[in-house]
């Protein structure tokens, strides 16, 4: 099994979000960066499990980003990926990233390409289906369970108010949701070995950008909470009905 896992770097889930340059750019000062949780906990680990179950193959990590991303890429190697590729450029939009990934992957013969369901910074959920289109591969989004039998995978995916069960033949693209695998913490041996694993840096292809964030805004601070006497729930209902007008 030859597997590719696309990972992105995002601010830590507890990071305070602020902007600079007149609210046109994200301010990275003091922010800790992590591997996007869906990519790390579910996509990468499920790919490793698949390779282990088959008993042979490779898991390659792919990131589109600058050299500062090497720390999270090494973490992926420490968790167990065999090698990594970084396409050396700033990830400026979903289409830009998807084109880079597709261009790299198109003639490598991967059996499956794993993504996270979305990044927790831009919450796009766009890149995976775009790559699937550029490579003309079938795609299953929001996968939360996968069984593999020979050349066929059976996947469960989250849909509104339920779960859908699908089958697809390799090769295919998937995006991972919670449940697909259990998080793995890198151990000392993994961390030592990760330093010697190959991390190849390749040049980006030219892709014009068609979307651009022109302005960021943080939501206005909430006014102070109105506290209601626990013995007076009629008052709460009254406020919800007449003031907030939501019931």
Partner 1 sequence: MILIYAESPDGQLKKVALEAVTYGAKLASAMGTTCAALTIGTVADAGSLGKYGAGKVYNIAGEDVDNQNIAKAVADVAEKIGAEVVVMPFTSTGKSIQGRVAAILNAGVVSGVSALPDLSNGFVVRKPVFSGKAFADTKITSEKKVLSLMGNAIPLEELGAAVDVETIDIDLAPCKVKRLSVEKQAGGIPLPEAELVVSGGRGLKGPENWNVLLELAEALGASTACSRPVADMDWRPHHEHVGQTGIAIRPNLYIAMGISGAIQHLAGVNNSKTIVVINKDPEAPFFKAADYGVVGDLFEVVPKLTEAVKRLKA
Ligand X SMILES: Nc1ncnc2c1ncn2[C@@H]1O[C@H](COP(=O)(O)O)[C@@H](O)[C@H]1O
Ligand Y SMILES: Cc1cc2nc3c(=O)[nH]c(=O)nc-3n(C[C@H](O)[C@H](O)[C@H](O)COP(=O)(O)OP(=O)(O)OC[C@H]3O[C@@H](n4cnc5c(N)ncnc54)[C@H](O)[C@@H]3O)c2cc1C
Q: Output 93 or 194, the one with its CB closest to partner 1.
A: 93
* DSSP H helical ranges for 55-93: 70-79
- Here the tokens at position 71 are 């720390």
C-beta of 72: minimal distance to ligand X in Å?
A: 10
- x/- mask, partner 1, residues 60-89, rule CB under 8 A, reads ------------------------------
- Here the tokens at position 90 are 């700033």
Which residues contact ligand Y by CB under 6 A? Answer: 13, 37
Q: Report helix, strand or coil for 67.
A: helix
Q: Output 14 or 242, the one with its CB closest to ligand Y.
A: 14
How far apart CA 161 and CA 165 sit, in angstroms, is 14
Backbone angles phi, psi at 143, to 5 degrees: -70, 130
C-beta of 122: minimal distance to ligand X in Å?
A: 5
Residue 196 interacting partner from partner 1, ligand X, ligand Y, none (CB closer than 5 to 8 Å by kind): none
Q: How far is CA 63 from CA 7, 44, 47, 95, 198, in A?
A: 5, 13, 16, 14, 14
26 binds ligand X (CB under 6 A): no
Q: Which residues bind ligand X (CB under 6 A)?
A: 6-8, 36, 38-39, 62-65, 91, 94, 97, 115-116, 118-119, 122, 124-128
């Amino acid at each position: 099994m030859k597997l590719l896992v696309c990972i992105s770097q995002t601010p830590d889930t507890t990071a305070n979000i602020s902007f600079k340059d007149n609210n046109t750019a994200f301010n990275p000062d003091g922010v800790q960066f992590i591997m996007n949780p869906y990519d790390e906990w579910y996509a990468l680990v499920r790919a490793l499990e698949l390779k282990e179950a088959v008993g042979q193959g490779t898991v390659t990590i792919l990131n589109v980003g600058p050299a500062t991303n090497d720390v999270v890429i090494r973490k992926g190697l420490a968790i167990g990926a065999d090698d990594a590729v970084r396409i050396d450029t700033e990830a400026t939009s979903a289409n830009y990233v998807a084109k880079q990934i597709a261009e790299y992957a198109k003639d490598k013969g991967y059996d499956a390409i794993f993504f996270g369901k979305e990044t927790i910074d831009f919450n796009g959920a766009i890149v995976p289906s775009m790559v699937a289109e550029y490579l003309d591969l079938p795609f299953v989004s929001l996968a939360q369970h996968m069984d593999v039998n020979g050349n066929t995978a059976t996947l469960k995916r989250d849909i509104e108010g339920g779960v859908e069960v699908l089958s697809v033949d390799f090769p295919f693209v998937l995006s991972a949701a919670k449940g697909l695998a259990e998080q793995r913490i890198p151990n000392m041996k993994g961390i030592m070995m990760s330093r010697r694993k190959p991390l190849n840096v390749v040049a980006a292809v030219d892709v014009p950008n068609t979307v651009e964030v022109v302005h960021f805004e943080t939501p206005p601070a909430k006014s102070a909470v109105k506290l209601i006497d626990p013995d007076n729930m009629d008052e709460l209902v009254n406020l919800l009905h007449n003031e907030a007008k939501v019931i």
